[in-house]
């Protein structure tokens, strides 16, 4: 295996008494697509800022491209592309100008920046909006422009913090498509998300984080295999009856999660378990058999839902 481009060991960040990131270890290989999955406030963004060489760690070790960000912040950042959670495009500049000024920050000659800006506007499907004001772009377009901006220095590593939060489904799919192309070109991607489908789509490997700690690590498929069953049967009996009925079907399936509005039954065969329930004379208001997802993994690991 090639040497990792990011190595974190016992990486910790505290703010006063609050520990945002609690002694985490992870490595990212070149060309890998690595995800941090967890709910809001899990410490994902803080981790990303440390990896982005803008936030000084409290303790532990961190190496990006073989360099310590404490000593080599600007050097490391010259090789990164960063897509922050909150868009920070310059609204006083037009679309293309945002790319031009940003490219200059890396010391690139104006002619090179201009050439790349045009190519990236094509890539981000914004070529016809090059002269638009940033404010006039939709949320999805702003995100794509931010990604284009992050690519102006042809980064070794692209950091994406919640890249599709707040976007409508169509805009998300366009964005995923673009990110997938980058991945195919060999760009190392590190992304945080609280969307399990996003993690499943984009990540080769991910860590599940909660309260600043890593709860599990693996590929989406292996995490599901390890922490969940093949299928999940979801039944609803009405919020007043759920808990009571859950008690009476305790023996059905491998494991249960009783949520306020529904019961999740983890099993290898959802349809068979549903039949058992109806044979006992119980009629759920709704029932659904689906494949296990990372949401189930998270629920298993933390006892909480990802999106609350």
Partner 1 sequence: MTVQTIREDSARAIAGGVAPRRWGSWYIAEHRIRAMKGYAGDAIFQSFGNPLIYLFALGVGLASLVPQGVGGVTYLQFVAPALMATAAMTVAANETSYPVLMGFKWNPIFFGMNASPITGAQIVNGMMIQIALRAVVTVAIYFGVIVLFGGVPSATGWLAIGAATLTGMAIGVVISSYTSTITEDRGQMAMLQRFGITPLFLFSGTFFPLEQLPIYLQPIGWISPLWHGTELGRVATYGLEEPIWLTVTHVGYLTTLFLVGLWATRKHFTRRLNK
Does residue 144 bind partner 1 (CB under 8 A)?
Answer: no
CB-CB contact of 89 with 66 (8 Å): no
Contacts of partner 1 in 182-201 (CB under 8 A): 185-186
Does residue 9 bind partner 1 (CB under 8 A)?
Answer: no
Query: Residue from 22, 27, 60, 72 that binds partner 1 (CB under 8 A)?
Result: 72
Does residue 147 bind partner 1 (CB under 8 A)?
Answer: no
Does residue 60 bind partner 1 (CB under 8 A)?
Answer: no
Query: Residue from 9, 10, 41, 66 that binds partner 1 (CB under 8 A)?
Result: 66
SS3 content of the chain, % helix, strand, coil (to 5): 40, 25, 35
Q: How far apart are CA 65 and CA 74, in angstroms?
A: 13
Q: How far apart are CA 170 and CA 182, in angstroms?
A: 19
Query: Residue from 5, 21, 137, 203 that binds partner 1 (CB under 8 A)?
Result: 5
Instruction: Using the minimum distance from each CB to partner 1, give the nearer residue, 4 or 220.
Output: 4
Q: How far apart are CA 243 and CA 262, in angstroms?
A: 9
Closest approach, Cβ 181 to partner 1, in A, equals 13
Instruction: Using the minimum distance from each CB to partner 1, give the nearer residue, 86 or 286.
Output: 86
Dihedral, CA of residue 30, residue 153, residue 136 and residue 159, to nearest 10: 30
Q: How far apart are CA 224 and CA 84, in angstroms?
A: 28
Query: Residue from 61, 90, 122, 168 that binds partner 1 (CB under 8 A)?
Result: 90
Terminal alpha carbon distance of the chain? 38
Q: How far apart are CA 244 and CA 128, in angstroms?
A: 59
Does residue 286 bind partner 1 (CB under 8 A)?
Answer: no
Contacts of partner 1 in 100-129 (CB under 8 A): 100-102, 104-107
Query: Residue from 8, 11, 80, 189 that binds partner 1 (CB under 8 A)?
Result: 80
Closest approach, Cβ 65 to partner 1, in A, equals 4
Q: How far apart are CA 29 and CA 31, in angstroms?
A: 6
Q: How far apart are CA 268 and CA 289, in angstroms?
A: 11
Stretch that binds partner 1, among 91-99, 261-269, 272-280, 284-292 (CB under 8 A): 91-99
Does residue 74 bind partner 1 (CB under 8 A)?
Answer: yes
Phi, psi for residue 9 in degrees, rounded to 5: -135, 125
CB-CB contact of 104 with 113 (8 Å): yes
Query: Residue from 86, 170, 279, 286 that binds partner 1 (CB under 8 A)?
Result: 86
CB-CB contact of 225 with 266 (8 Å): no
Instruction: Using the minimum distance from each CB to partner 1, give the nearer residue, 79 or 132.
Output: 79
- What's the full length of the chain, in residues? 308
Which phi-psi region, left, alpha or beta, contains residue 233 (left: φ > 0; alpha: ψ -120 to 50)? beta
Instruction: Using the minimum distance from each CB to partner 1, give the nearer residue, 9 or 88.
Output: 88
Closest approach, Cβ 196 to partner 1, in A, equals 27
* Tokens matching residue 64: 């990006």
Does residue 29 bind partner 1 (CB under 8 A)?
Answer: no
Instruction: Using the minimum distance from each CB to partner 1, give the nearer residue, 154 or 177.
Output: 154
Does residue 153 bind partner 1 (CB under 8 A)?
Answer: yes
Which run of H or of E encompasses 199? helix 196-202
| Contact set with partner 1 (CB under 8 A) | 2-5, 30-31, 49, 52, 54-56, 65-67, 72-80, 82, 84, 86, 88-93, 97, 100-102, 104-107, 149, 153, 156, 185-186
């Amino acid at each position: 295996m090639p040497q990792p481009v990011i190595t974190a060991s016992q990486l910790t960040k505290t703010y006063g008494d609050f520990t945002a990131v609690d002694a985490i270890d992870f490595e990212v290989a070149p060309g890998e697509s690595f995800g941090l999955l967890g709910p809001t406030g899990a410490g994902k963004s803080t981790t990303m800022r440390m990896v982005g060489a803008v936030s000084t760690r409290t303790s532990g070790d961190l190496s990006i491209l073989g360099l310590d960000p404490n000593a080599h912040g600007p050097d490391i950042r010259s090789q990164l592309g960063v897509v922050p959670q909150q868009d920070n495009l310059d609204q006083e500049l037009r679309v293309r100008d945002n790319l031009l000024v940003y490219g200059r920050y890396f010391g690139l000659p104006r002619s090179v920046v201009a050439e790349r800006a045009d190519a990236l506007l094509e890539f981000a499907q914004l070529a016809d909006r090059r002269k638009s004001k940033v404010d006039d772009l939709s949320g999805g377009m702003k995100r794509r422009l931010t990604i284009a901006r992050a690519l102006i220095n042809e980064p070794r590593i692209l950091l994406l913090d919640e890249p599709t939060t707040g976007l409508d489904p169509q805009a998300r799919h366009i964005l995923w498509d673009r990110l997938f192309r980058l991945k195919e070109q060999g760009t190392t991607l590190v992304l945080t998300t609280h969307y399990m489908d996003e993690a499943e789509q984009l990540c080769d490997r991910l860590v599940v984080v909660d309260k600043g700690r890593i709860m599990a690590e693996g590929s989406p498929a292996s995490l599901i295999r390890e922490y969940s069953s093949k299928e999940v049967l979801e039944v609803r009996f009405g919020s007043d009856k759920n808990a009571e009925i859950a008690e009476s079907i305790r023996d059905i399936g491998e494991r249960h999660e009783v949520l306020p509005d529904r019961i999740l039954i983890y099993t290898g065969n959802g349809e068979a378990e549903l039949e058992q329930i109806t044979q006992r004379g119980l009629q759920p208001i709704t029932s659904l058999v689906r494949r296990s997802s990372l949401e189930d993994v998270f629920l298993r690991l933390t006892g909480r839902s990802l999106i609350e």
